[in-house]
Amino acid sequence: MGDEIKKEITIKNKKAYFQYDILDEYEAGIVLKGTEIKSIRQSKVSIKEGYCAFNKGELFVFNINISPYTEASFENHEMSRPRKLLLNKNEINKLKKAKKDVGLTIVPLSLYINKKGLAKMKIALAKGKKMQDKREKIKEKDIKRQLDRAAKR
């Protein structure tokens, strides 16, 4: 009867935390069509390559892949179409002003289903990390891992 539908669904973008310094986070609704919500409930989503941009004053998320729903008939959704994000006017204005700064971008952090059953996306205003910062982060993780191993012995 198809794939199991999980109770709690959270698709995370771990790559975003490694590549960007997160400055500010927002929770946005996402406009879905047809069978997209069913694919999200089956966790058949990839948000690693996603990014957000403004188009005619509205915020859209691009490059998010929601796999076609396997149980659907001929009317299935497009995998990576731009999807509109729903924020209040104040949040949109804040993001527009911040986006004008050089080096800042808006990235998706996670996609989840809230308690009411609605799909929500956590997005963040972020600044790209330099290669040196990434190397330091890797070193810190490595040292922490070695200390944890030593503590277990």
pLDDT in tens, 93-127: 888 888 887 778 899 999 998 888 889 999 999 88
What CATH code is carried by the domain that includes residue 83? 2.40.280.10
Q: How far apart are the first and last CA of the chain?
A: 47
State the CB neighbour count (10 A cutoff) for residue 9.
Answer: 15
pLDDT classification of 7: cutoffs 50, 70, 90? low
Kindly tell me if the per-residue pLDDT of 21 is higher than 80: yes
Identify whether 144 is part of a domain: no
pLDDT, residue 74, reads: 67
Q: How many structural domains does the chain have?
A: 1
State the CB neighbour count (10 A cutoff) for residue 45.
Answer: 18
Structural domain for 41, as ranges: 10-128
